[in-house]
Amino acid sequence: MRGPAAPPEVLPGMSSRSGTSSHTADLGLWVEADSAPELFSAAAVALATLMYAGPRDGRLTWQPFQAQGLDRAELLVQLLAEVVYQSDAEGLLLAAAEIGSLSETSLEARLGFVPLQPSLHEPAEPVKAVTYHEAQVSRSGSGWKAHVILDV
């Protein structure tokens, strides 16, 4: 079992917040934001920041991302799984995420990556996968919140 959850973090340039929560043998990631598109963008950046510490400076390589799902929670899991895949398989670290369109069942985005460099980027939390278990995306007062479980 992990120790206490990390205090909330305010992401630079956004009005969103994110943090972690304890879960047996896994790690929970939660995010809050003013809008659903900002929530998805902030969740992707929060996951990448959780996985690797270090600068995200330099020229970004932008890649399109599209997903279809039963609901927003499934779309978020697919987006975050792409962040993990690009890091593990392609050696790319997410630096930015721009949401083009988002509905209850579809997502179109553009993801900005920098090369993952061991001399600059220190591994932090070894995320193996993003699970559908307990995945939630919902309105919260005047904003939005999300929670996913990460397999670490």
Please report whether residue 69 resides in a domain: yes
Report pLDDT for 14.
65
Give me the CATH number covering residue 74: 3.55.10.10
Query: Among 6, 116, 113, 3, which residue's Cα sits nearest to residue 52?
Result: 116
CA distance 130 to 151: 6
The pLDDT tens digits of the residues spanning 122-139 come to 999 999 999 998 999 999
Residue 117 lies in a domain: yes
In which domain, by residue range, is 124 found? 9-151
Domain-located, residue 75: yes
> Tell me: the pLDDT tens digits for 85-101?
999 999 999 999 999 99
- Go through the chain and tell me how many residues it has: 152
Residue 4 domain flag: no
Beta strand segments in the chain, E: 9-10, 17-23, 26-33, 52-53, 61-68, 92-102, 106-115, 122-123, 129-140, 143-151
Side-chain half-sphere CA neighbours of 26 within 13 A: 15
Number of domains composing the chain: 1
Helix 36-51 to helix 72-90 angle (10° resolution) is 30
User: What gap in Å lies between CA 10 and CA 33, rounded to an integer?
Assistant: 10
Residue 2 is assigned to a structural domain of this protein: no
pLDDT for the residue 151: 94
pLDDT digits 0-9 by tens, 15-69: 788 887 665 668 999 999 999 999 999 999 999 999 999 999 889 999 999 999 9
The closest of 108, 115, 113, 116 to 94, measured between CA atoms, is 113
Query: Does any domain span residue 1?
Result: no
Question: Do the domain assignments include residue 16?
Answer: yes
pLDDT at 119 over 50: yes
Q: Taking CA 144 as the corner, what is the angle to CA 124 and CA 127, rounded to the nearest 5 degrees?
A: 20
